[in-house]
């Protein structure tokens, strides 16, 4: 129980840090965009504004996903993190679309970029803050496996790239006077944001539609359970992910002459072996006599790649 409490506290701390950092970056980038007139700085500010929205959604999702099991939600509320990831992806696409529109407008109606030295200083400060936040988020993700924090962190990884590209763009404008390079940088950042939003939405949809665990993880679960002496085989393993929890169902096969008490004890041993390796897993095990002829899910599985 204390492990879960620590994980929830870590996730909430990460979301608070994310919101605070995003608000700070929006303010300083807005000031820089106002004084420089740079579209690339404006695109980066818009991205940070999207991060504020995304981080707030993540905060709500993490809080909701941490709720205990209820009568009507016996699998918990973990998939609220996937829903938050979808909302974040939609907001990112909308923000990137705004920058693309402004970029096309500025190609037609060019605008001068001013005070690039001030803009470079502001962007270097933003880059430093973002790197610190991402390092902390990575620590939390490794500890909690939170999809909402992972989705939120993705925005800030993109921020590191976009902040670096904006700094480079401002140097180009300052020393080579290529005003158009600022617009190209902004458009490139927007297209990259759209691509990442698409990947984020796909990952969230995979979880919402109950995509199976990775094949290697499932193979290891089977290996661990069948390593228990007395477990003669297994079949019909299926799984799904909900937030940081894994739900796995499996049928274990035993000598049909063993008593229910004996097979139950062997099942406990097999479950403990798996939980030691994957503490976030919840197992539902059905016990079958070995050699029983029956309809099995394994016989009806289709290959989606066909």
- What confidence score (pLDDT) does residue 1 get? 39
- What confidence score (pLDDT) does residue 289 get? 92
- What confidence score (pLDDT) does residue 66 get? 67
Mean pLDDT per 10-residue interval, the chain, length 306 residues: 60 84 90 84 78 73 70 72 79 77 72 81 91 91 76 75 83 83 81 82 83 90 94 91 84 93 94 92 91 76 54
Distance CA 288, CA 251 (A): 7
- What confidence score (pLDDT) does residue 306 get? 39
- What confidence score (pLDDT) does residue 181 get? 84
Distance CA 204, CA 192 (A): 19
Look up the CATH number of domain 2-208. 1.20.1510.10
E strand or H helix that includes residue 202: helix 179-208
- What confidence score (pLDDT) does residue 2 get? 43
Residue closest to 291 by CA, chosen among 237, 235, 248: 235
- Measured in Å, how far apart are the chain's first and last C-alpha atoms? 44
Q: Which CA distances in Å does 38 have to 46, 121, 169, 200?
A: 12, 14, 10, 28
Distance CA 112, CA 38 (A): 8
Residue closest to 106 by CA, chosen among 183, 167, 50: 183
- What confidence score (pLDDT) does residue 266 get? 95
How many Cα atoms within 13 Å fall on the side-chain side of residue 217?
15
Cβ atoms of residues 98 and 128 within 8 Å: no
- What confidence score (pLDDT) does residue 287 get? 92
Strand partners, 247: 240, 282
Q: Which CATH superfamily is domain 215-300 in?
A: Cation efflux protein, cytoplasmic domain (3.30.70.1350)
Listed by start position, the domains of the chain span 2-208, 215-300
The SS3 assignment for 75 reads coil
Distance CA 158, CA 162 (A): 6
- What confidence score (pLDDT) does residue 74 get? 66
- What confidence score (pLDDT) does residue 267 get? 94
Query: Where does 4-110 show beta strands of DSSP type E?
Result: none
């Amino acid at each position: 129980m204390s492990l879960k409490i620590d994980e929830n506290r870590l996730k909430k701390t990460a979301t608070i840090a994310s919101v605070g950092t995003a608000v700070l970056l929006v303010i300083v980038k807005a000031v820089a965009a106002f004084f420089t007139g740079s579209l690339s700085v404006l695109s980066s500010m818009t991205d940070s504004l999207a991060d504020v929205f995304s981080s707030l959604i993540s905060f709500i999702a993490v809080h909701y996903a941490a709720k205990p099991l209820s009568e009507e939600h016996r699998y918990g509320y973990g998939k609220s993190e996937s829903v938050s990831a979808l909302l974040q992806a939609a907001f990112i696409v909308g923000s990137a679309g705004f920058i693309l529109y402004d970029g096309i407008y500025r190609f037609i109606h060019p605008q001068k970029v001013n005070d690039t030295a001030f803009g470079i200083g502001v962007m270097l400060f933003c880059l430093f803050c973002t790197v610190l936040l991402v390092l902390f988020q990575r620590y939390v993700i490794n500890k909690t496996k939170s999809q909402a924090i992972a989705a939120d962190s993705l925005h800030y990884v993109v921020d590191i790239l976009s902040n670096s590209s904006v700094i480079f763009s401002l140097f180009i404008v300052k020393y080579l006077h290529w005003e158009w390079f600022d617009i190209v940088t902004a458009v490139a950042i927007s297209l990259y944001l759209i691509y990442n939003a698409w990947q984020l939405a796909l990952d969230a949809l995979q979880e919402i539609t109950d995509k199976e665990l990775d094949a290697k993880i499932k193979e290891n679960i089977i290996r661990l359970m069948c390593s228990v002496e007395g477990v003669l085989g297994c079949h019909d393993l299926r799984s799904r992910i909900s937030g940081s929890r894994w739900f796995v169902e499996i049928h274990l096969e035993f000598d049909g002459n063993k008593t229910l008490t004996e097979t139950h004890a062997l099942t406990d041993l097999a479950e403990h072996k798996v939980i030691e390796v994957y503490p976030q897993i919840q197992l539902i095990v059905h016990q079958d006599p070995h050699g029983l002829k029956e309809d099995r899910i394994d016989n009806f599985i289709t290959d989606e790649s066909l």
